[in-house]
Amino acid sequence: MAMRKGARLDDDIENGGHKDNKIDDSPHVKGFNFKDPRIMDGNWIHEPNRDMIRDFFRLLAICHTCIAETDENGKVSYEAESPDEAAFVIAARELGFEFYKRSPSTIIVREWDPSQNVVEKRKYELLNILEFSSSRKRMSVIVKEPEGRILLLSKGADSVMFRRLAPNGRKIEEATRRHINEYSDSGLRTLVLAYRVLDDKEYKEFNEKLNAAKTSVSADRDEKIEQAADSIETDLILLGATAVEDKLQKGVPECIDKLAQAGIKIWVLTGDKMETAINIGFACSLLRQGMTQIIITLEQSDIIAMEKTGDKFAIAKASKQRVMDQIEVGIKQIPPSTKVSTESFALIIDGKSLTYALEDDVKLKFLDLAIKCASVICCRSSPKQKALVTRLVKQVTHKVTLAIGDGANDVGMLQEADIGVGISGAEGMQAVMASDVAVAQFRFLERLLLVHGHWCYRRISVMICYFFYKNVTFGVTIFLYEAFASFSGKPAYNDWFLSLYNVFFTSLPVIALGVFDQDVSARLCIQYPQLYQEGVQNVLFSWRRIIGWMLNGVMNAVLIFFFCITAFEDQAFRQDGQVAGLDALGVVMYTCIVWVVNCQMALSVNYFTIIQHIFIWGSITFWYLFLLVYGAINPRFSTTAYMVFIEQLAPALSFWLVTLFVVMATLVPYFSYAAIQIRFFPMFHNKIQWKRYLGKAEDPEVARQLSSRHRTSSQQRMVGISARRDGKAMQITMETELEVRE
């Protein structure tokens, strides 16, 4: 962060040391990393605003939905809906306000009194819980103290909490806003804490209103409950703010960099504040220095002043117009696609603005601006907005969308995307249960897409094309035979030959290819992420490629048929001068087809395993065994195949020579085409295979040269660690050239 802001880090800190060389012997507490001698160890009792500090910690210990569990040794642990909730109750416990037990109607807190050095159990009567929702962006509880006071304790986003403060509850508002901005600049997640004292009459009226809303059976039941909660969550007294560090998982910047190099557009949809989201963007290399930020926000003085008037219609109209104006300005900033520009842009939009940007008459302009930007960050987004943005991109661009998230607020987005990836972890299992694929960490997405995604695309593409090929080869020989026999209806092959072709003799090799084949290793897939573009551009499953495989099948069928007909038409292959009958001719053609399609598979495989060898050569061997066994069965069952192989073909040298010649002659055209294509018109994976053959594939310099040649001017990297490095190198080069000119 200091480097991004241009500030110098202290040498000791930069080198991993510390100015304070005292060893901290205090045990590490998971979820708590806070040191402040002014309030630690009960020192808060000596502060002038100790009552406010006490209420602050009490709010942390009470306003939540955590469950406390006590083990045999009396140690309390917490089960929370989110890591943030757990962090709050742990922090309160470490500072002397331990949430100890809860029941449906009570909450027990063990408070340490530093002045008397005693722990006191305080039992609060839990009257109501006003739960958090994405629209409310806050949570409140109403409790009754042992002394009899009724308190409303509330915590929520600063965007909604500051508006609900009482005039006499804003004493520390300016300082709190300043601290929140500092926390956000550091990439921390913030919440505002406030409370209110209720009198009995006021609470009774509210409780009746809330119960009436809860028992309502009308369609607007939820709205009535929210209105009841809104009516009591006013005139609050500000207590302060919290900041929670949500560290990036290991490998996130590197993973995003690889995905960006693979040509995948990455958007961030988050509920964090704009400042926090921007700093996370810099931390994971979605944003970088020199990138032009197009910020669309309604946090402007005139809009804020209008919101205080309470005229909702005027506010909505002015806000929508302001969002449209900012989108128009952003579109004008970006040069047209016809001009080559090295400048990159990032779009950053807040939740309020996103509400109007997703309206029917604005969303297409918003999407047009977003697509032209290298990075898009939508902050303060509700779960519904995340889903709507995903739907907009999917429906308008017709691109395949993938959403990845780890929390319950990501469920709508995961279900709306074409592919939903849930991260299992501290946020719970809701995202995993709603997703198509589950991973343990974000960085595993790199291997999921770049390795298994590329392999699966290649395997499925080749497998389907091969299915077309082998069936066209088989079918065209039948058609040619019928034409040769004047469409007399005489079958070219035995009925069982027809039935078992796709079951035993040619199916297993293609299944093995669809499971095991790899054009390059996993390490090279990650080292050359541009390989993923072969799937995006559909180079292996285009109509041209499908038709090419089918034409290859037609050509092979023609060669097999006419070579076999020519070889056995007037050729005697037994000592008594007997020539080949139609039954023998059918077996010869079938034998050649089994050999050709399986050898064709062997030529198409890039990564041989023992299973593939067994399936390919085993299928051919099984054909000969089948001929032996089936031909020896009673002719009532084997019909035209009776003793054809044993008595006619196997003893004849011409049968074996014709089989060898036909197989080689049929495969030579494909082999020649493949050799010319790899040598003179190689695809990207062919280049990597050639470098691997030369032993240079893992050389970083070779990888950089191959990647730069493969990438066109319109595919320049704009985000990621490598883009930041390339941008810095370009800046240094330009400065050097300028100095030379001077």
User: Angle at which helices 221-232 and 200-214 pack, to 10 degrees?
Assistant: 170
Q: In this structure, are residues 156 and 191 in contact, taking their beta carbons and an 8 Å threshold?
A: yes
SS (H, E, C) 528-558: CHHHHHHHHCCCCCCHHHHHHHHHHHHHHHH
- Tell me the residue length of the chain: 742
409 is in an annotated binding site: yes
Long-range contacts of 132-139 (CB under 8 A, 24+ apart): 132/156, 133/226, 134/271, 134/382, 134/383, 134/384, 134/409, 135/226, 135/382, 136/160, 136/226, 136/229, 138/233, 139/63, 139/64, 139/65
174 is in an annotated binding site: no
Eight-class DSSP state of 483:
H
189 is in an annotated binding site: yes
Nearest to 155 by CA among 54, 59, 232: 59
Half-sphere exposure of 225 (CA within 13 A, CB side): 18
H or E element that contains 733? helix 721-741
Instruction: Compute CA 153 distance to the chain's CA centroid, rounded to the nearest angstrom.
Output: 37
What residues contact 154, with CB distance under 8 A and at least 6 apart? 63, 130, 138, 139, 140, 161, 164, 193, 194, 195, 196, 233, 236
Transcribe 254-322 into DSSP letters: HHHHHHHHTT---EEE-SS-HHHHHHHHHHTTSS-TTPEEEEE----HHHHHHHHHT-HHHHHHHHHHH
Instruction: Compute CA 358 distance to the chain's CA centroid, rounded to the nearest angstrom.
Output: 23
459 is in an annotated binding site: no
11 is in an annotated binding site: no
Cα–Cα distances in angstroms (integers) from residue 461 to residues 112, 297, 457, 503, in the given order: 67, 45, 6, 21
Cα gap 381→268, rounded to integer Å = 10
102 is in an annotated binding site: no
155 is in an annotated binding site: yes
What residues contact 512, with CB distance under 8 A and at least 6 apart? 609, 611, 612, 615, 616
| Lookup: tokens for 346 | 């990032």
Enumerate helices (H) and strands (E) in the chain, giving the number of each: 31, 16
| Lookup: tokens for 436 | 């198509």
What residues contact 229, with CB distance under 8 A and at least 6 apart? 130, 136, 140, 210
Nearest to 134 by CA among 149, 113, 118, 156: 156
Nearest to 110 by CA among 70, 65, 73: 70
Strand order in the sheet with 437-439: 402-405, 419-423, 437-439
Q: In this structure, are residues 618 and 508 in contact, taking their beta carbons and an 8 Å threshold?
A: yes
85 is in an annotated binding site: yes
The 3-state DSSP class for residue 27 equals: coil
**Calculated CA dihedral for residues 611, 617, 622, 623, nearest 10 degrees:** 140
Cα gap 357→365, rounded to integer Å = 8
The 3-state DSSP class for residue 723 equals: helix
Positive/negative CA dihedral, 182, 268, 286, 340: negative
Q: Which residues are annotated as a binding site?
A: 85, 132, 155, 189, 270-272, 380, 386, 406, 409-410
Residues flagged as binding site for ATP: 85, 132, 155, 189, 270-272, 380, 386, 409-410
Binding residues for Mg(2+): 406, 410
